[in-house]
Chains A and B, each alone.
Chain A
Amino acid sequence: MQPRRKKRLFSMLLVISLIAGAVGAMLFALQQNINLFYTPGQLVQGLGEGKIKPDVGQRLRLGGMVVPGSVSRDATSLKVSFDLTDDSGEIATVEFEGILPDLFREGQGIVAQGILKSANVLAATEVLAKHDEEYLPPEVAEAVKGIRHVPPSQLQQQNRPQSNYGG
């Protein structure tokens, strides 16, 4: 390789590695801020090495699995409350008034945005459903995972004959 090309090659590699290092350091510093949501475990136990807990009244997002059997609806309004949990086993409660997304069901991943009312209660203004990266036909999902994905409202109407997979 010609010396001129070699010089250009090394200066290019130097520039790239310097910028990669800078971006890496920046992302590392922002680690806690880029997370879209707190998990119930992070909410209760604190986030990161500093065990920083959010303050009551803080605006935040909370994400976790809906605890089966915890969904309770108000009979006369759209008020609903449910518990979220994660691998840590900690539980946080979400209170929400409005229409839940179609994918909302027990055992489903949910991200709720709102204001922290007390240490583990969130008054949500928006509830988003998170779905996993698995794509299966309903029969396969039932056979492999033993899951019948049925929205909670339809659970109460007693077992429908056909398998429900959508909203």
Chain B
Amino acid sequence: MFKWLDPLAKPETLFHFCGKLTPWLMGSAIFTMLLGNIWGLGFTPTDYQQGDSYRIIHIHVPSAIMSMGAYMAMAIAAFTALVWQIKTAQWAVLAIAPIGAVYTAIALLTGMAWGKPMWGAWWVWDARLTSQLILLFLYFGVMALHGAFSDRQTGAKVASLLAVIGVINLPIIHFSVEWWNTLHQGATITKFGKPSIDPSMLWPLLISLLAYKLLLAALACYRLRTAILENEQHRPWVKQWVAKQ
């Protein structure tokens, strides 16, 4: 079924594939990021309840959704690395982890900045906030475990195992606002049925969401290329490629 993916497991092929993809991804990420943020922050109407404060949604929601998306991508790479023992998948885990951690931190910080004026508190030990904080610690855990063993292979395996197990936190984050009473409001766009946001505010939000997704892909490709070069530096194909630059 996934036969077309097989050649990409080879570091050299993957390196050139990512190299072709990166500029396109980065270009479209910059374009959609500018469009989404300028439109969302500058040209959407104010909210009936929250006035201008709600505009931080255009940073908070895309980074929060993609922090979970990045985790899912990392966990799939980790699962592939563990079961099929593909080393490029292993490198992808470490390529995605710091990007996801930064997205999570952005979501937490913008959430705090939003919570203070609207709720009246920077932080509340609410199920949604706490589970999102655990996501940040899971990212830290994956990164730390990678370097925690003198044998790199062991570290990589243990980190991948943590990444796969941590997937359990994703449904908890998503459904926390439904399963328990929380201060955090329910889902606006990631739910079945009509999004409860005016179209004039929804479109820039969806564009920003796409921008964060493209940026994640672009940065992950970039970091994966660096990882491939680092791990394969003594191979002849790398030397040939460097000589051509």
Which residues of A are in contact with B by a Cβ distance under 8 Å?
Answer: 5, 8-9, 12, 15-16, 19-20, 23, 27, 31, 34-39, 63, 101-103, 111, 126-138, 140-142, 147, 149, 165-167
- How many angstroms between the C-alpha atoms of A99 and B8 in the bound complex? 60
Query: Bound complex: CA of A5 vs CA of B85, how far in Å?
Result: 9
The minimal Cβ–Cβ distance linking A90 to chain B, given in whole angstroms, is 15
Which residue of B82, B119, B161 contacts A128 across the interface (Cβ within 8 Å)? B119
The contact string, 1 if C-beta is below 8 Å from chain A, for chain B 33-65, is 000000000000111111111100100000000
Interface size on B, residues (CB 8 A): 45
Q: A137-B201, A138-B48, A166-B46 are in contact. List 18 more A-B contacts (CB 8 A).
A: A5-B84, A15-B161, A15-B165, A36-B126, A36-B183, A63-B183, A111-B183, A131-B50, A132-B49, A135-B57, A136-B48, A136-B198, A138-B45, A138-B46, A149-B48, A165-B47, A165-B50, A166-B50
Chain B hits for A9, CB < 8 A:
83
Q: Which residues of B contact A (CB under 8 A)?
A: 45-54, 57, 79, 82-85, 117-121, 124-127, 161, 164-165, 167-168, 172, 179-183, 185-188, 196-198, 200-201
Q: 3 smallest A-B Cβ distances: which pairs?
A: A166-B51, A141-B48, A137-B45
- Partner among A16, A101, A137 whose Cβ is within 8 Å of the Cβ of B118: A101
Given contacts A128-B120, A133-B185, A136-B198, contact A34 B127 (CB under 8 A): yes
Tell me the minimal C-beta distance from B25 to chain A in angstroms: 29
Q: How far is the CB of B193 from chain A (nearest CB, A)?
A: 12
Tell me which of A31, A102, A130, A137 contacts B47 (CB under 8 A): A137
- With A36-B180, A37-B181 given, is the CB distance from A134 to B197 under 8 Å? yes
C-alpha spacing A12/B164, complex, angstroms: 9
Asked if A128 and B124 make an inter-chain contact with CB atoms under 8 angstroms apart, the answer reads: yes
Expressed in whole angstroms, the minimum distance between the Cβ of B183 and any Cβ of chain A is 5
| Contact call A36/B118, Cβ cutoff below 8 A | no
Whole-angstrom distance from the CB of B158 to the nearest CB of chain A? 13
- Nearest-neighbour CB distance to chain A for B188, whole angstroms, equals 4
Whether B185 lies near A165 (C-beta < 8 A) is no
Which of B119, B127, B198 has its CB near the most chain A CB atoms (within 10 A)? B119
**B84 to chain A: which residues have CB within 8 Å?**
5
CA distance A138 to B48 in the complex (A): 4
Can you offer 19 A-B residue contacts whose CB atoms are under 8 A? A15-B165, A16-B165, A20-B168, A34-B127, A34-B179, A36-B125, A36-B180, A37-B181, A37-B183, A103-B119, A127-B120, A131-B119, A135-B47, A135-B198, A137-B48, A137-B200, A142-B48, A165-B49, A166-B50
List residues of chain B with CB within 8 A of the CB of A128. 119-121, 124, 183
Contact of A131 among B118, B161, B172 (CB under 8 A): B118
Query: Judging by beta carbons under 8 Å apart, are A12 and B83 in contact?
Result: yes
- How far apart sit A133 and B185, CA to CA, in the bound complex (Å)? 5
A165 to B46, Cβ gap below 8 A?
A: yes
B127–A36 CB distance below 8 A: yes
Beta-carbon contact of B185 and A130 below 8 Å: yes
Q: Is the CB of B118 within 8 A of A133?
A: no
* Contact present for A130 and B83 (CB under 8 Å): no
- The 8 Å CB contact of B119, one of A5, A129, A135, is A129
The answer on a CB contact under 8 Å between A39 and B57 is no
Cβ-defined contact, B196 with A134, below 8 A: yes
In contact, A133 and B187 (Cβ under 8 angstroms): yes
Shortest distance from the beta carbon of B36 to any chain A beta carbon, whole Å: 15
